[in-house]
């Protein structure tokens, strides 16, 4: 697909279509299995979940909730590092979408961090916090679909995620604190 898009110059959508068609022909899917694949891929509850997550992200951005939270935390005298953890983590946890926490919180952080040279260690810490929130989100599509596909126990899988995600955030915080 990448070769078709970059080297040949085809549009990404056309490249994806060609690759999907080639895979269908290569693996010789029967019409019955194609219908079953389509039924699984377009399950109404999954479509509603995707639409709900995108709608919620848009509501958070449109109503300025993240900017209001940032201003509120600053007025309380909350330490900057805690704000840089809490906002992206919360937005990531609420939406389950990486683009949502980056798009909603990073513009706010630019004002918070000042116009002097941007401290990339703080940006990396905020990004790690947001990613941890996304990975721990009960509406994160990868998590929901994986648990559903493998018929796993959601609570058991969720408990297994907590330590690695805490480790990522703590490592990012330690790197910031040790290198300042």
Q: Give tens-digit pLDDT for 167-180.
A: 999 999 999 999 98
Measuring CA to CA, which residue among 93, 91, 86, 105 is closest to residue 161? 93
pLDDT at position 158: 95
- Domain extents for the chain? 1-41, 43-178
pTM of the complete model: 0.70
Task: Please write the tens of the pLDDT for every residue from 137-154.
Answer: 998 989 988 998 899 999
In tens, the pLDDT along 51-104 reads 877 787 788 778 877 778 777 888 899 888 899 999 999 999 998 989 888 888
End-to-end, the C-alpha distance of the chain in Å comes to: 43
Mean pLDDT of the chain: 87
Q: Is the Cβ–Cβ distance between 136 and 93 less than 8 Å?
A: yes
């Amino acid at each position: 697909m990448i070769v078709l898009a970059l080297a040949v110059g085809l549009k990404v959508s056309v490249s994806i279509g060609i690759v999907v068609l080639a895979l269908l022909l290569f693996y010789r899917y029967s019409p019955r299995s194609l219908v079953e694949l389509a039924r699984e891929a377009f399950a109404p509850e999954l479509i509603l979940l995707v639409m709900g997550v995108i709608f919620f992200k848009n509501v958070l951005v449109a109503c300025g909730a993240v900017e209001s939270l940032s201003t509120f935390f600053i007025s309380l005298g909350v330490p900057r590092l805690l704000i840089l953890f809490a906002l992206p983590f919360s937005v990531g946890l609420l939406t389950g979408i990486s683009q949502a926490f980056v798009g909603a919180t990073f513009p706010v952080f630019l004002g918070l961090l000042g116009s002097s040279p941007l401290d990339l260690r703080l940006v990396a810490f905020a990004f790690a916090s947001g990613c941890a929130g996304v990975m721990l989100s009960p509406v994160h599509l990868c998590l929901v679909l994986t648990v559903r596909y493998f018929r796993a126990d959601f609570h058991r899988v969720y408990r297994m995620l907590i330590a690695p995600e805490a480790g990522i955030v703590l490592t990012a915080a330690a790197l910031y604190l040790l290198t300042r």
